[in-house]
Amino acid sequence: MRGGMHAAGSPRASLPSSFAQGKRANFSCGPTRTSFAHQQQQHHHLHQLNKKTKRRTRVFAQAAESSAERTALLIEFDNDSDAGATIVSIEGENQSDLLVSVTGAFSALDLTVLDAMIKTEEGRVMDVFRVTTGQGEQIEEVDWSSVRQHVLSACSNSSRSSKPAIYGVAAESEETKQRPMSVANSIVEAELSNIENTATELEAAAKDMQQSAADLVKIEQELASTKMAASAVAVDGEGNMNAEYGVDAQQVMAQLSARAEAAAILERRMAAMEALLSARRSPEGLSVTGPSSQRGGGAEGRFLVSGGTGTGPAAGSGYEIILQAFNWESCKQNWYKVLVEQASEFAEAGFTALWLPPPTDSVSPQGYLPRDLYCLDSQYGNEAELRELVKVIQSKGLKAVADIVINHRCAHYQDDQGRWNKFGGRLAWDNRAICSNNKQFGGTGNLDSGDDYEAAPNIDHTQEFVQKDLLGWLNYLKKSIGFNGWRFDYVKGYGGKFTRQYIDGSVPELAIGEFWDSCDYTDGVLDYNQDKHRQRTVDWCDQTGGTSAAFDFTTKGILQEAVGRNERWRLVDAEGRPPGVVGIWPSRAVTFIENHDTGSTLGHWPFPYHGLHEGYAYILTHPGTPCVFYDHYFQADNGLGDAIKKLLKIRKQFGIHSRSKVKVMQAVAECYAANVDDKVTVKIGPGDFTPNADGKSEWVLCCSGPSFAVWHKQGAMVFSNP
């Protein structure tokens, strides 16, 4: 979901950049006419979103400034020199993979580079690009700032981790957490003498930690000296330090920035040490099962084969391969007709299910501010075209998965106090259907059972009439339209037990929840141990009684950090398992690299562009249920689309499924390797690795590409899916 909040008080709103900059956007229910009252209602909800967007823009501006300081890149735009394109000039210090980062940022924003002049002298770049939008037009001046920020973010060489922009930048508690050095030091002192095979690595890691700690101490001492010198500093009415008192404000800001960077480097070194110690303690080849105590209450008896349960549809048969069949811009054309033409190709590639965009009338064109649930005329096409698409999808042997947005619903009319709380259409609810803590909408229902969503009325799922109506609608989508499964949007907004009611009452063939929770960070660096993060996702699945799977945001966060930072030691947990949800409940983990929120033109939390091949090599050969992003499947650049097709074939051919067993063979900075079901071995990263020891040729290379390779075992049984 994009148009609201992912965590209480945290911005998750997104609009077209033109609207965020103050331009009007026209939103309507498919081909139907929008009344003046509906326009007022739309502007109200979009105003709420716009306020959040502006708050996030201020955060982005600060992030861009700090990124500019770190990367020392000057980015300028010119629409006057060339009437057919925007001239983008980039000047500054050269960096590794700078050109790849810049062009990748352009691609993520759907910008086309017509040609470029690349020049490097004495460690500095002076690059000039001729760029157009996807429609072949110049980049509007109002969008220059956001493009600049995106490029700077892509090129940032800071040691601080990328975090979802959907949360602002990071929760305050995450920024202020401190991990005592004494803890890591005591671990090192206690364990270092006992390590035999990894002595060299530990020695190097310890030296890195020592140097990083010394660097941080030096900066802290400099700041302490500055603080003493600033004891008499006056502050003007706007809170600015006065230079006349002998304190250089720019110097202080530079020191503070250096301290944050040094703390991030130290935290990264500590994470590397933690991973080394965990690897030393882990029994080799521990299977992906995990004790039930890790999953909390209700776990007993759930684990059948490597973490599967026998209750509910969850991710389907275990052999599902899902395609997210849309992106953030798909609403700008008749998308249903596009997919009708592509359905045969998707089936031939090996997908088993297509995740479709929200099908209902919506205040926002992407569908994530739903209004009349039974009106199935949307920006993607009308109801007749939707019915035809579902029919075609199923004729190809594929499942059609609907995007279900029921955390909130936009009203049709205002009450006498101007609050949008009167609903129209077949589900003509009043303010009893709105949670009572939604004061701005005059809700009189019970308190919200999950996180608040400020942009629209939060539905009170405790009301029996709401439950009955939503179940009736889901069954209409299933029985009349023909949908096979549900993808539940923003499930943090209401209790998991209600999701179970809707699943039990509609009996889909598969069900997946979007439980997007922020990973754990310290000093701006992703923690090595993300057990608490994945546990929260598992707990939500438990609330549904195991009837729903969930997108594995833990795996995404760790995998993109591992690939982007050359820290593939992150890809094994303290017990030798994959570190995401897939490591403790694989049959309920839907793995993915990108979606319309994190990537596409939004780019809220993008996967490193140069590491996409590695990412797909990982999720398409590992347990869990993989979900491929539409944009990546059709990406010709660097052969990514072709690589995905080959990996899909391997997964199908050798019967890799959601409960496949993984043996992690290597997990170091430049190389991760794993054996899956003793049929397939995968390696990602630039480091050397081969499964063929002592010159043997037991394993045959069947697929390779940028920083990845996959082998199959000679004589391994070729699998035919049921």
Residues that are catalytic: 489, 514
**3-state class (DSSP) for residue 504:** helix
Neighbours of 678 (CB within 10 A): 10
Rounded to whole angstroms, the Cα distance separating 559 from 565 reads 10
Rounded to whole angstroms, the Cα distance separating 482 from 393 reads 10
* 313's tokens: 């549809």
Distances from the Cα of 81 to the Cα of 77, 113, 130, 138, angstroms: 10, 16, 10, 11
How would DSSP label each residue in 343-408?
HHHHHHHT--EEEPPP-S-BSSTTSSSB--TT---BTTB-HHHHHHHHHHHHHTTPEEEEEE--SB
**Secondary structure percentages of the chain, helix, strand, coil, to 5:** 40, 15, 40
Q: Taking phi first (over 0 means left), then psi (-120 to 50 degrees means alpha), and beta for anything else, what does residue 24 get?
A: beta
Rounded to whole angstroms, the Cα distance separating 352 from 627 reads 10
List beta partners, residue 703: 710
Neighbours of 536 (CB within 10 A): 18
Rounded to whole angstroms, the Cα distance separating 627 from 355 reads 9
Rounded to whole angstroms, the Cα distance separating 511 from 500 reads 10
Rounded to whole angstroms, the Cα distance separating 220 from 240 reads 22
Rounded to whole angstroms, the Cα distance separating 634 from 656 reads 23
Query: Is the Cβ–Cβ distance between 326 and 107 less than 8 Å?
Result: no
